[in-house]
Copies of this chain bind each other. A is one copy, B any other.
């Protein structure tokens, strides 16, 4: 296909779920049921901590993932981004330190910077956060919390092993540092289900667990939650009340209905099948078009391939060149607390349909060739023993 024929950009840059897979008919049906059952209450005030029956349903959902909780350990939030903002507002003063993974969620970095926190990075490898590096960091600084995405990490796609999870918790207990577990991708596994969440492995109440329905169900609902030990949760409820009184009522009722009637479980299974197809399409396209100039590993879940550019071009330059050729990718440097390297791009396979993904990677390959002048021989998939950044 000639470039001039390509009108539309193929979007591999955004962490959006698939628009056409958002179950709008199921949602409309659930809304009709909720309004029939609750009448005006579906549009009325709800408690700042969330509707008690919904919190109960969320506790049930978490128990299916191995975390035994009660409703009063759960706060309903306007998405997991707000959940993290509430945590930051409760824990952070200007100048305080936070430990993050390198790379990490761009929105978290923006949020911690806005809070004027000092951000300390700990490298990832194929097993997730390097807990040896974490131990060294905790010896040097006293962070207010450790922020981690252990399950299908954004942007690196990594799955933290069970051993590392245990080790991370041991360090948290030893240094008495809370752990904020951003767990919004754990429903999106394409092989085996992931190991238990940090929250499920934590008998001591150190973990604040952030969940969301944005990726698995519908981002426009803005329904997320925090699960935390009661004394922390009670303070988070106060911060929520100060921030925006409460999460919207209808969204809570709708998600509760979907969770309680197994429609959520069935939708999640269908979503996994679709995203597995897209993941496979990207893996095949990379194999076909990117082996000479890139290093990557295929994730077992989530939305992202973290890709090292092994060609003489910066990721930022490549992203600009790729945009001109009709494919958008995210320069990885925006996911770094310290902008020390510009050799990674994040490729998302969640938003573009499978048929577009191959075309997108092909366009990216052309962009690399153009930007680098010529393709260099690459070194194949990432060496799993090497830290990522």
A binding-site residues for B, Cβ under 8 Å: 16, 19-25, 27-28, 31-32, 35, 39-46, 77-79, 81-82, 85, 107, 110-111, 114, 218-222, 239, 241-251
Q: Given the complex, which residues of B lie within 8 Å of A43, measured CB to CB?
A: 22, 24, 27, 218-221
- Measured between C-beta atoms, what is the minimum distance from A270 to chain B in Å? 14
In the complex formed, the residue of B with least CB distance to A241 is B110
Are B40 and A24 neighbours in the complex by a CB distance under 8 Å?
Answer: yes
> Whose C-beta in chain B lies nearest to the C-beta of A214?
B45
The answer to whether B222 and A81 have CB atoms under 8 Å apart is no
Task: Give chain B residues whose Cβ lies under 8 Å from the Cβ of A78.
Answer: 78, 222, 244, 248
Q: If the complex has contacts A242-B111, A248-B251, are A16 and B45 also in contact, measured as CB distance less than 8 A? A: yes
Docked CA distance A21–B39 (Å): 11
Closest chain B residue, CB of each to CB of A43: B218
What are the residues of chain B within 8 A of A19 when measuring CB–CB?
Answer: 40-41, 44
Distance A242 CA – B25 CA, assembled complex (angstroms): 31
Q: Is B243 within 8 A of A220, CB to CB?
A: no
- Are B45 and A22 in contact (CB-based, < 8 A)? no
The one of B44, B81, B110, B111 that contacts A219, using a Cβ cutoff of 8 Å: B44
A39 to B110, CA, bound (A): 32
Q: Closest B residue to A28 by CB, please name it.
A: B35
How far is B222's CA from A23's CA once the two chains are assembled, in angstroms? 23
Which B residues touch A239, using CB under 8 A? 114
7 CB < 8 A contacts A-B: A19-B40, A25-B35, A31-B31, A43-B218, A77-B244, A220-B250, A221-B249
A245–B79 CB distance below 8 A? yes
Most buried by B among A39, A107, A248: A248
Q: Name the one of B25, B222, B246 contacting A247, with C-beta atoms under 8 angstroms.
A: B222
For residue A41, which residues in chain B have a CB less than 8 angstroms away from its CB?
Answer: 19, 220
When distances are taken between beta carbons in the complex, the residues of chain B under 8 Å from A46 are: 220
Q: How far is the CB of A87 from chain B (nearest CB, A)?
A: 13
Q: With a 10 A CB-CB cut-off, give which of A27, A79, A250 has the most chain B CB atoms.
A: A250
Contact B85 A243 (CB under 8 A): yes
Given contacts A22-B40, A45-B16, contact A244 B82 (CB under 8 A): yes
Q: How far is the CA of A346 from the CA of B271 in the complex (A)?
A: 51
Residues of B within 8 A of A222 (CB): 78, 244-248
Interface pair A45/B244, CB less than 8 Å apart: no
**In the complex, A85→B82 CA distance in Å?**
13
Of all chain B residues, the one with the shortest Cβ separation from A32 is B28
